Chains A and B, each alone.
Chain A
Amino acid sequence: MPAEPALRQPPKSSAKDSPAIRSHDMATTAKMTAGVLGVLALAIGLWYARTAILLAFAGILLAIVLYGASRALAEFTKLPRLLMLAAVVLLVALFFAVVFVAAGPTLTQQVAGLARGIAAGATTLTKELAAFADQANLLQNVDPVQMLSGFLSPWGIATGATSVALSIVGLFSAGLIVLFFGIYFAADPHTYAKLVARLAPEKQRAATVEMMYETGDLLRRWLIGQGISMALIGSFTYIGLLILGVPIAFVLALFAGLAGFLPYLGPIIGAIPMVLVAGGESFHLALMGSMR
């Protein structure tokens, strides 16, 4: 390359390029380099902690719900807000405990029934497929498990028995982290808002606090909308399952409503236990259930 040597030449030094100015320039350059490196190091650190940060954000969302509920209750009952926060958390925990204790036996029974049904159904299906395969070798190269994992892996869903067990443990601990974040934030949100505001320059602190409360208000309104949507999904699913006569309709509808928080995949995930439980009754019901 002919241009290379010319580029490597140092720029023509002018008259004001005295040693003092040059050392000043070097100090500035060193400071800027250190700044850029610091920002990069921070970015790398944040990237490695991305799951924790997202879980903290989920905790803030939970805190907004808990705070709103406890404040509304405190205004209604004229009791201290912290007491009402404890009441809200305990009531929700009790609700879920009762629902799952009541539904647990039916759930395992139905899934076991389905497993037997699938074993019987799979035998007939394999026979029919074998007969079909004599005419066409179309299905030979299709591996449904591989296809599914290929579809799900971009979303970070691991497949395989070990990773399922791992992700269940991970899901449980993530849920606990979000729960505790939510409770602590909801107990005393103003302390955390002030703490974050201290990071801002003194002149900007009032505006920073105002900005955070405005963000909280926006998220609160979004969460109300999301709550309405999830409640509608749950209610309509419950009515549909009652009409079909699927057992433990309430738990299944509750799960479908909660899964409705997740876009795109939520409705599919919500339908899985429904199909499993309905499949314990009959395959016809499972098909109907999957069409809800």
Chain B
Amino acid sequence: MPPAVVILSQLVLGAIFGLLGLALATPLVAAATVPLRFLFGIGGKDRASAN
């Protein structure tokens, strides 16, 4: 994930869920990208890692 996305997700999830949200923000958002990619029909391949 791009660094700015990581920081934004940490800030937002930290604001919503407190310390636990801050700690788990990166894996949660990273995990959420997989179903989203399936939903939008680009699933299967990890396109982000290709850069």
Cβ of A264: which chain B residues have Cβ within 8 Å of it?
10, 22
With A215-B34, A218-B31, A219-B31 known as contacts, the answer to whether A155 contacts B19 (CB < 8 A) is yes
Q: Does B42 contact A (CB under 8 A)?
A: no
On chain B, the residues within 8 Å of A265 by CB distance are 19, 22
Contacting pair B22 A263 (CB below 8 A) = yes
Given the complex, which residues of A lie within 8 Å of B21, measured CB to CB? 54
Question: 30 pairs across A/B with beta carbons < 8 Å?
Answer: A50-B17, A51-B20, A54-B17, A57-B28, A58-B23, A58-B24, A154-B15, A155-B14, A156-B18, A156-B19, A157-B19, A207-B38, A210-B44, A214-B34, A214-B44, A215-B31, A218-B33, A218-B34, A219-B27, A219-B30, A219-B31, A222-B26, A262-B19, A262-B22, A263-B22, A263-B23, A263-B25, A264-B10, A264-B22, A265-B19
CB contacts between A and B, total, < 8 Å = 65
Q: Interface residues of A, CB < 8 Å — how many?
A: 25
Please give, as numbers and ranges, the residues of chain A lying within 8 Å of B20 by CB-CB distance.
51, 54-55, 58, 156
Task: Decide: B30 and A54 in contact? CB cutoff 8 A.
Answer: no
Expressed in whole angstroms, the Cα–Cα distance for A196 and B27 within the complex equals 19
* Nearest CB in chain A to that of B33: its residue: A218
